Structure 1
């Protein structure tokens, strides 16, 4: 408490009620049925005062269509960004990455890395990441299967990012990632493509959603059309 500021007293009851609300928030997006501690958590909440037990969550959903160019980044409890990089080889023969910005062209045969940077406010159960792709892209790994649980360096300031564990489902126009548990804070999911066609291509934005509590979701900003040449 700063000198001269009023003293704020927090009682044990206020702390306990705050923990009860936190437990309710965790249960809203997490599956606890197989954990014996779930019984203790439930008992703690039920022992709370009437005003805590009266707490309810109300979610409203609106569905509408809009042109790709008008899609803005949005989210509730999540945020997501998509970044593209082209694999390049330096004069020393070492492989590096060059970030691709809107308006830059890539060529047929280039190897492209798509990186999905995700932030989650809480640990969440049953999360789906949908990553549509432009028709010019073909996944390097076209087989569906297990994905994740590794550390890898990012190009920004040499920091490391965590890739969560899940299942990668490769479809004709998109890749879907399914996670039983998605961790809190910042994570990165990535996949590699080859450019196979010439032209101008667009695709819907990437989205992430908690299937356990669908009002926790996010979509990326529309990044513009992809231009490729020979």
Structure 2
């Protein structure tokens, strides 16, 4: 966390000096006051568009935390404060560095190789951005840390040779050793001794010959290593392979559908993507290709809070260092609804965010035609909502990037065992039947803060009355049963398809509306859909 503080404040000072209009924009937000919608968490914005009040979800504290972060943005560009915090962080980093040269989690703990490599990696990022001139104290820390990771890597190499007689025939190397080569390549001012160079050359030859054996993340590191070694043919072949497996979308940009790799101390598709971007940048990719990859990054931020410090740091670095300059570009987006250009009375400085509302008497059929024109090179996005009242039984299904389907079954038991029978005209419900509600949830992107609400017929009494954490289909969620609905709250919903089931007993006869099932991303309410209304008959 001390290095994150150093990195954030150093990068903040760099942005303030390089892009003066950014600090001016933040200052303007600050003057608008803490109640300005610009400074609110996305969880708190646009409450009228959401299917449930924020206070009824488990995410009240998350919303408060993000709002506080936005309100503190102005302090990031306070040069005096940032310099003080940077000096404090450097002092703490010096205290946490052990005599062996590595950094530890806490003072007095053993040094940790992964932490040390990550801090050295962060220093190299700041240097590449030309965001800082390192002081003598920091350079001394770097020299000790480089010596430490050299010793640790060499020790592992010697152990490998002792324990594996066929070590010279290896086809792959551990990710930690590949990360060592990657980090070490940024510190060539510290020469390798003969034994360490022998190890580095051996590892490098393995990854050069067998790069197809590695995953997306590992390959991105290998590209950088090969580029620095002048192996242009290998770099071209690896980037060609990346392009062959990439998905190119007008909305989402350029990305990799199987991006589920491990990165340093966490798992994050955003982190892996930023490393791939760096590989393309180093390999000489064109600006428009890098802009497509930056678009995917921003689309992730549209639906995610990015609590991870490492993911946010690397994403900011990628957005600043690759492609065209979106920071200083002037975007002008024009929205035309029903042939009339929208001229917003208030527009957030910097982001250009605005909201326009029409009431019932103002809405005409022509407003179904919407045209959006963006004159800048940076992406822009928005959404149009139509809210109206309708009988539950007459509601038709909607779909989209986030989609939900609902099916009802009766659980029956015979000589062959338990089976689920779809509810049809031939299989009417009876009092005492056990109904299984199956909800199929699909999303084409990673989402955070997703609320799924399944309305129940008045004749259905859920089996599970107590609320609590659940685990199904590889995701964790909070399930809460209420009088007329069962609610599911997902902190994180990765891209994919999920089938959730819960049971209910039929308690009375009659004809009932079973309502609809609605799913919505509370962080980006434009991602929402619902099932069609349906009836159930109990005889």
Band the TM-score falls in, shorter-chain normalisation: 0.7 to 0.9
Structure 1 stretches of 4+ moved >6 Å? none
Deviating more after overlay: 126-135 vs 55-64: 55-64
TM-score, normalisation: structure 2: 0.37
Separation of aligned partners in 2, 1:23 and 1:175: 34
Asked if residue 215 in structure 1 is aligned to residue 489 in structure 2, the reply is no
Say which one has the larger Rg.
2
Checking the alignment, whether the CA contact within 8 Å between 2:393 and 2:535 is kept in structure 1 is no
2:306 corresponding residue in structure 1: 32
1:159 corresponding residue in structure 2: none
What's the offset of the Cα at 1:101?
3.2
Checking the alignment, whether the CA contact within 8 Å between 2:393 and 2:513 is kept in structure 1 is no
What's the offset of the Cα at 1:106?
0.5
Separation of aligned partners in 1, 2:430 and 2:407: 17
TM-score, normalisation: structure 1: 0.83
Separation of aligned partners in 1, 2:510 and 2:490: 34
Deviations 1:99-137 (A, max 9, x none): 113674110000010000011011100000001100000
Q: From the superposition, tell whether residues 30 and 102 of structure 1 become closer, same or farther in structure 2 (CA, over 3 Å).
A: farther
Asked if residue 121 in structure 1 is aligned to residue 444 in structure 2, the reply is yes
Q: From the superposition, tell whether residues 131 and 163 of structure 1 become closer, same or farther in structure 2 (CA, over 3 Å).
A: farther
Larger strand proportion, structure 1 or 2?
1
Larger helix proportion, structure 1 or 2?
2
Deviations 1:148-201 (A, max 9, x none): 2x4xxxxxxxxxxx2521100111110111110012121011110000010000
Paired residues in the alignment total 206
Separation of aligned partners in 1, 2:498 and 2:396: 21
Greater relative contact order (CA < 8 Å, ≥ 6 in sequence): 1
Picking from 316, 319, 332, the partner of 1:45 is 319
1:131 corresponding residue in structure 2: 454
Separation of aligned partners in 2, 1:183 and 1:131: 20
What's the offset of the Cα at 1:203?
3.0
SS of residue in 2 equivalent to 1:105? coil
Q: From the superposition, tell whether residues 137 and 123 of structure 1 become closer, same or farther in structure 2 (CA, over 3 Å).
A: same
1:5 corresponding residue in structure 2: none
SS of residue in 2 equivalent to 1:165? strand
Asked if residue 205 in structure 1 is aligned to residue 496 in structure 2, the reply is no
1:156 corresponding residue in structure 2: none
Deviating more after overlay: 23-32 vs 206-215: 23-32
Q: CA RMSD in A?
A: 2.0
Asked if residue 64 in structure 1 is aligned to residue 388 in structure 2, the reply is yes
Unaligned runs of 5+ in 2: 1-284, 330-375
Checking the alignment, whether the CA contact within 8 Å between 1:103 and 1:226 is kept in structure 2 is no
Separation of aligned partners in 1, 2:537 and 2:499: 25
